[in-house]
Structures are given as structure tokens and as C-alpha cells.
């Protein structure tokens, strides 16, 4: 199979080019399809009567739609996934992501409501490569006399004889080391090649992106410091290296060593890779350190630079809980208590202490990043945010009514909610099956659906996290947005012209001006209406203390903030018993311009958007209805899905 290494790219690129030629007469070259319509000269002229009407860049090359995907899918190639009964491999994961029906490991048919745009298969690098995939057909194996001989035997119908020879040679230890099918290098390599081949085969530029990747699972002492690695390019590059592991002395569990490996990898492959961490909530205070757990010392400039260079994104929400913030850290944020996993580390060997939380959640890390930047001159925690699944089923299935769980053993079944998910050794602390969160996906504002375009958008952090629904979320920051920009028919064109998108940096503040933001959100076409769009601001004051505040900036209906400054609840239409809701409350879209009322040009700050959906049934409600089971009292049966954008940062001029 590896021999095939399908190169669909030239073919598809060719047909796209052909298509462009065919389409050309109907659509002149000076038109651009935006997320709110085609921008042609006539309509642009109406919007911007002055000359030039708008920047050609803004008109033609900005992303017009977000691409939705999962940066974190495990398959049977991961040791733990296999142990939990996963039978589906990388090829199945990609097929499923493309919207095809597959048979889940538990023997149930499963299909997404609609295809995803991209998937990164990220099997654990430790223990990767389970079994000798004999004669994997890699060019190097074909280059080996022994390998070629056996391959020829098989193809001339002498397969059985070849098999016997292989086994005999194995027993005698006379198999050429390039193809040796024992635990060790060749085995490892063949699994890696298989992963690469599956991605290259599934990748269809313009239609579906299949990334090559793996997970580096640093988990010493049960403290989650995991990172996923994504390759920008194809197998030809990725084959030049093998994944970095945590097992010493082959690899290391310290992120600094991962970054060194990444630097060597980029050099060797002559291409780019990036890393993103996840589940700080299970790291027991080690994910976003100020004091490094490996040395006990305060992080230095080298750490800050490495982290910023190699880890542009953070996976802020997934099945093992949501990682935006925690009620302990954000006591005034009424939406902070969402899908918390805060009992301990990943294996519950050490229970949580409140002082750990600050170094685990995205919002507090973004705040501490400002502090570290003031101290070191580099912000180690200047990351964008995505959601992903971390499903160990090869199935990126996290819709509430189509949730296939974290592991194959937690695929739909009458008892999965009431079954313990993790138990501490003494049995006193338990994370139950119902605590799994049906979340999330990564939304990427890329210019097209290709590996390069999506990867580049990830690098520039023009991404946002959703807990599952595919809402469209825009955030632009600048100093010149006006209220009427929110009435414009082409807000994206204005956004890119007058400001920077999510993940960007505000320019220095003109005298007397405060930052303004153009915010917009459109609900998932088949999902629930939106409750509100909020901006979360974090800043560092003159004393070096960090602060945060959540502002409601756009909302549905005619609600007004109460005496406490809080907007009244949107209400709920959820019928738990029948697992239904209606879109009679909330709004299908929200758009507004907001200006920071408390801006101080001397203070570092960040701003990110949070979009909240109206309440809908949680996956536990769909389970209860389908299986006719009664959930224990403590099980939440409704949820408020949400999206988190990457921040826009403000740094005072020196």
C-alpha cells in the first residue's frame, strides 16, 4: 500500500486550473467571493466611493470561510487506543472525516452530520509501530536486495515461500536491518510510513486536507504535558524523520528537548512543523509554568523563545474537559464553570490544589504571558486557540447527538455515562463517563483548503476553537472601526482593511484613541441560535499585576444589562426528556463594533472573542432518551456550546 503513495495533488490542481478557465467567462477576474457575497467592482464601488476603493489584498486574498477540522485524532496505531478496543486505523479516520460512513470499533455504523474539512491523525509516538508491517514497500526497502527479492517472490505468486524465508531469517537474525520486523527501528518506521501514506492518500487539495502528524505524549508522573506535532508538507518530507518520543534515552519528556528536535526536523525536512499542547487542566500546574517543573527555576528567555517559536496554538477545549478558564480563576465570569475536569492530573495519582490552576488554563496563561513578556522581553504564552477531539476511536465525532466518546469502550451504550472513566488508586476519586465533554473542533480562516494554506493560517493564529458547532466567528481589531461598519454588507472586507484579524497584533495606539473591534458571528447552519458575543480582556497594570474582564458586546433580543452590569440570561427551550430545543430564542447572527472603555495605552493587553450559544441538550440527554436510562442527579443534561477566538494583542510602544 505504501508503494502507491498516491499523489493526488497534480491531478486535482490540474482540474482546478481547468475549472478556473471554464468559470472565467461568467466571473471576471476582478471579482472575489467573500463570506458575505461576491465582491465585484460595482458593489465595492458603492461601498467605498473614494479611490482606491480598498486594498487589493483585502479584496482578493483574505479568507472568506473558516475550515473546520480536528487536529487531534488517535487511531488503532496508538497503543492505548488499541488497548481500549480501537480497530480503526488512520485510513478510517480520514474516511470518516470526509463524511463517509464507517463501522465503529463497537460494531455500530457512524457518520458525521457533514464532512469536516481537515484531520490530523496524531497517534502517540511512544509505542507507535505495533507490528512489523512486512514488506511495507518503502523505496528503501525495495532498494534492499533481500527486500526486493521477497517482494518479487510475492508478486510472482511465491508468497508462501517468501513468508517462510522471512520467518526463518528472522529467527536466525539475518534479516537486513532495513526491513527487520522486530520491535525496534524498522517496525517503528513502517508504522510511521503507514501513517504518512494514509495521509498522502487521503489528502485532496481544495476538498479535504489530511495532515501528517503525531502526538508527543510527555506524561511523567501522570502530569499531562502532551503536544501534537503537525507537518506542513507531504510524505516526501516527513519520511526523512521519525517521530520524537518521550522514552529515555531515545527521546525525552522535557518540552525543551522537543523544540530541539523540531529545529533539527525542520532542517532535515526543509519544511515547517508546529506543535500545540492540550489538557493543561490535567497537568497539575505544569502546562504554562512560571517555575519550570523540570528544573525548579523561573523560566528564562530561552524557554520563552522556544515556546513562542514552536507552539503558536493551544488546544483549549476537548473531550477531557474545557480549558478556557476556571471559576476559581475567573470568579466574576458567569460562564466560567463549563465542563471542568479539575480533580487531579491525568491518572489521578496527585489530586488538584487550587494554586495549580493558574498554570493550567488558557486565560490565566495569556495573562501570565503579558507578565513574562514584561520581565523577559518575550511572551512565551502568545498562542491562538483551537478545539479538537483527542478521540481514541479514529472518529472525530463530538456533536452532542452523535458523540462517539473518548475511547472505543465509551462509544454509545446504555452504561457509558455511569461507567467510571478514570479512578484514583484508592478508588476515592473518580471521573465518571458522563464527565466526558462532546468537544471540540478547530476552525481555521485559511484562504483555501490545502495543507499549506491551513498550516499557514495556524502559524499566524487566525483560528478559533469551538466546542462542536460550526459557527462562523469574526474578530477584527484596530483603532478606526465605527458603529456603521457593523451595518456594512461586507464586514470582512472592512475588517481586513481597517484592522487585524484574530491572532494579530494591534499597531501602536494613536494619541487619544482606544482600540475598537468589529465582531461578528453566524450560527451553525444546522445548529442552535446565538445568545451573545463577549470580549474577554486581560491586561497587566503598572504594578505588574494581571487583570481580566468579560464584556458583553453583542446579544440577541432587547435585553438590557441589570444593576450588576450583567446581561439577563437568554433563557432555555431545552426539553430534556425528549432531547430537543427550539430556535425561538437567541439570534442567527450577531454583529457589532465595540470600543474598549478602559484602555490605558501604557498597559499590555489582549482581547479575545467568546461566542455563547443558547442552551441545548447535552450528549447525556440524547443518551438518556435513546437508551431509556435514568441519569444520576449530578449529571448535567443541558450545555451552552461556545467558541473562543485567538486573541488580538496590544503592546505599548517602547
Determine, following the binding rule CB under 8 A, whether residue 140 of this chain makes contact with another protein.
Answer: no
Q: What is the C-alpha separation between 489 and 466, in angstroms, rounded?
A: 25
Q: What is the C-alpha separation between 134 and 137, in angstroms, rounded?
A: 8
Q: What is the C-alpha separation between 228 and 133, in angstroms, rounded?
A: 24
Helices (H), 37-128: 41-47, 56-60, 79-83, 90-97
**Span interacting with another protein, options 6-14, 51-59, 337-345, 397-405, rule CB under 8 A:** 6-14
Length of the chain: 654
Q: For another protein, what does the binding mask look like between residues 582 and 621, x meaning CB under 8 A?
A: -x---xxx-x------------------------------
Mapping DSSP onto H, E and C, the string for 628-650 reads CCCCCCCCCCEECCEEEECCEEE
Determine, following the binding rule CB under 8 A, whether residue 487 of this chain makes contact with another protein.
Answer: yes
Query: Within positions 360 to 419, which residues make up the interface with another protein, using CB under 8 A?
Result: none
Determine, following the binding rule CB under 8 A, whether residue 525 of this chain makes contact with another protein.
Answer: yes
Determine, following the binding rule CB under 8 A, whether residue 115 of this chain makes contact with another protein.
Answer: yes
Nearest CB to another protein, comparing residues 78 and 389: 78
Q: How many CB atoms lie within 10 A of CB 468?
A: 29
Q: What is the C-alpha separation between 584 and 528, in angstroms, rounded?
A: 10
Residue from 54, 214, 261, 594 touching another protein (CB under 8 A): that is: 261
Determine, following the binding rule CB under 8 A, whether residue 146 of this chain makes contact with another protein.
Answer: no
Nearest CB to another protein, comparing residues 241 and 357: 241
C-alpha cell read off for 574: 431545552
Residue from 70, 144, 215, 242 touching another protein (CB under 8 A): that is: 242
Q: Are 374 and 69 in contact (CB under 8 A)?
A: no
C-alpha angle with apex 323: 124 to 325, nearest 5 degrees?
Answer: 160
The minimum distance between CB 271 and another protein, in angstroms, equals 15
Nearest CB to another protein, comparing residues 329 and 522: 522
Query: Within positions 33 to 52, which residues make up the interface with another protein, using CB under 8 A?
Result: 33-38, 43, 46
Residue from 26, 542, 602, 653 touching another protein (CB under 8 A): that is: 26
Give the CA distances from residue 336 to residues 325, 343, 363, 407, in Å, rounded to whole numbers and listed in that order: 6, 16, 11, 27
* DSSP state for residue 617 in the 8-state scheme: E
Nearest residue to 320 via CA among 225, 423, 438, 403: 438
**Span interacting with another protein, options 135-143, 366-374, 436-444, 599-607, rule CB under 8 A:** 135-143
Is residue 25 classed as helix, strand or coil in its secondary structure?
coil
Residue from 30, 45, 55, 131 touching another protein (CB under 8 A): that is: 131
C-alpha cell read off for 504: 494579530
Query: Within positions 49 to 68, which residues make up the interface with another protein, using CB under 8 A?
Result: 64-65
Count of residues interacting with another protein (CB under 8 A): 99
Determine, following the binding rule CB under 8 A, whether residue 177 of this chain makes contact with another protein.
Answer: yes
Determine, following the binding rule CB under 8 A, whether residue 489 of this chain makes contact with another protein.
Answer: yes
Residue from 45, 55, 57, 114 touching another protein (CB under 8 A): that is: 114
Residue from 87, 256, 343, 559 touching another protein (CB under 8 A): that is: 87
Determine, following the binding rule CB under 8 A, whether residue 185 of this chain makes contact with another protein.
Answer: yes
Amino acid at each position: 500500500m505504501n508503494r502507491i503513495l498516491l499523489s493526488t495533488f497534480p491531478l486535482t490542481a490540474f482540474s482546478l486550473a481547468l475549472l478556473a478557465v471554464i468559470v472565467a467567462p461568467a466571473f471576471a477576474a476582478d471579482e472575489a467571493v467573500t463570506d458575505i457575497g461576491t465582491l465585484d467592482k460595482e458593489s465595492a464601488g458603492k461601498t467605498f466611493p473614494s479611490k482606491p476603493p480598498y486594498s487589493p489584498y483585502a479584496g482578493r486574498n483574505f479568507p472568506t470561510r473558516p475550515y473546520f477540522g480536528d487536529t487531534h485524532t488517535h487511531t488503532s496505531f496508538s497503543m492505548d487506543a488499541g488497548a481500549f478496543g480501537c480497530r480503526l486505523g488512520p485510513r478510517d479516520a480520514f474516511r470518516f472525516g470526509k463524511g463517509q460512513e464507517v463501522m465503529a470499533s463497537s460494531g455500530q455504523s457512524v457518520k458525521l452530520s457533514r464532512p469536516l474539512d481537515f484531520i490530523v491523525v496524531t497517534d502517540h509516538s511512544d509505542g507507535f509501530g505495533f507490528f512489523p508491517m512486512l514488506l511495507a514497500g518503502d523505496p528503501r526497502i525495495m532498494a534492499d536486495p533481500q527486500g526486493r527479492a521477497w517482494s518479487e517472490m510475492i508478486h510472482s505468486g511465491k508468497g508462501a515461500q517468501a513468508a517462510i524465508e522471512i520467518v526463518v531469517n528472522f529467527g536466525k537474525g539475518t534479516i537486513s536491518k532495513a526491513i527487520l520486523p522486530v520491535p525496534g527501528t524498522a517496525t517503528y518506521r513502517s508504522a510511521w510510513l503507514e501513517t504518512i501514506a494514509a495521509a498522502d492518500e487521503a489528502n485532496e487539495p481544495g476538498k479535504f486536507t489530511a495532515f501528517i502528524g503525531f502526538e508527543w505524549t510527555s506524561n511523567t508522573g501522570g502530569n499531562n504535558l502532551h503536544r501534537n506535532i503537525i507537518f506542513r508538507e507531504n510524505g516526501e518530507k516527513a519520511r526523512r524523520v521519525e517521530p520524537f518520543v518521550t522514552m529515555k534515552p531515545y527521546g525525552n519528556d522535557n518540552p525543551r528537548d522537543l523544540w530541539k528536535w523540531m529545529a533539527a526536523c525542520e532542517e532535515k525536512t526543509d519544511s515547517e512543523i508546529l506543535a500545540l499542547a492540550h489538557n493543561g487542566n490535567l497537568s497539575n500546574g505544569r502546562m504554562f509554568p512560571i517555575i519550570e517543573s523540570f528544573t525548579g527555576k523561573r523560566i528564562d528567555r530561552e524557554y520563552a523563545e522556544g515556546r513562542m517559536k514552536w507552539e503558536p496554538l493551544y488546544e483549549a477545549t476537548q473531550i477531557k474537559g474545557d480549558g478556557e478558564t476556571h471559576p476559581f480563576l475567573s470568579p466574576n465570569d458567569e460562564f466560567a464553570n463549563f465542563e471542568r475536569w479539575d480533580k487531579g492530573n491525568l491518572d489521578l495519582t496527585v489530586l488538584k490544589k487550587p494554586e495549580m490552576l493558574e498554570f493550567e488554563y488558557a486565560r490565566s496563561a495569556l495573562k501570565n504571558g503579558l507578565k513574562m513578556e514584561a520581565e523577559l522581553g518575550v511572551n512565551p504564552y502568545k498562542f491562538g486557540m483551537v478545539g479538537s477531539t483527542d478521540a481514541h476511536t479514529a472518529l472525530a465525532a463530538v456533536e452532542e447527538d452523535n458523540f462517539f466518546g473518548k475511547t472505543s469502550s465509551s462509544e454509545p451504550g446504555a452504561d457509558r455515562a455511569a461507567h467510571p472513566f478514570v479512578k484514583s488508586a484508592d478508588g476515592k476519586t473518580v471521573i465518571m463517563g458522563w464527565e466526558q465533554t462532546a468537544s471540540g473542533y478547530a476552525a481555521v480562516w485559511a484562504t483555501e483548503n490545502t495543507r499549506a494554506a491551513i498550516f499557514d493560517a495556524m502559524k499566524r493564529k487566525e483560528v478559533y476553537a469551538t466546542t462542536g458547532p460550526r459557527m462562523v466567528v469574526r474578530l477584527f481589531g484596530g483603532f478606526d472601526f465605527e458603529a456603521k461598519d457593523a451595518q456594512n454588507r461586507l464586514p470582512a472586507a472592512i475588517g481586513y482593511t481597517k484592522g487585524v484579524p484574530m491572532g494579530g497584533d494591534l499597531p501602536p495606539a494613536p494619541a487619544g484613541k482606544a482600540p475598537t473591534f468589529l465582531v461578528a458571528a453566524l450560527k451553525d447552519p444546522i445548529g442552535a441560535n446565538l445568545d451573545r458575543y463577549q470580549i474577554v480582556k486581560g491586561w497587566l497594570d503598572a504594578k505588574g499585576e494581571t487583570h481580566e474582564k468579560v464584556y458583553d458586546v453583542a446579544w440577541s433580543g432587547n435585553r438590557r444589562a441589570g444593576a450588576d452590569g450583567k446581561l439577563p440570561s437568554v433563557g432555555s427551550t431545552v426539553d430534556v426528556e425528549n432531547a430537543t430545543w427550539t430556535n425561538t430564542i437567541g439570534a442567527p447572527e450577531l454583529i457589532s463594533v465595540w470600543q474598549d472603555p478602559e484602555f490605558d495605552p501604557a498597559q499590555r493587553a489582549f482581547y479575545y472573542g467568546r461566542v455563547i450559544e443558547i442552551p441545548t441538550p447535552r450528549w447525556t440527554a440524547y443518551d438518556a432518551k435513546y437508551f431509556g436510562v435514568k441519569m444520576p442527579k449530578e449529571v448535567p443534561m443541558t450545555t451552552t456550546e461556545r467558541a473562543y477566538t485567538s486573541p488580538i494583542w496590544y503592546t505599548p510602544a517602547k
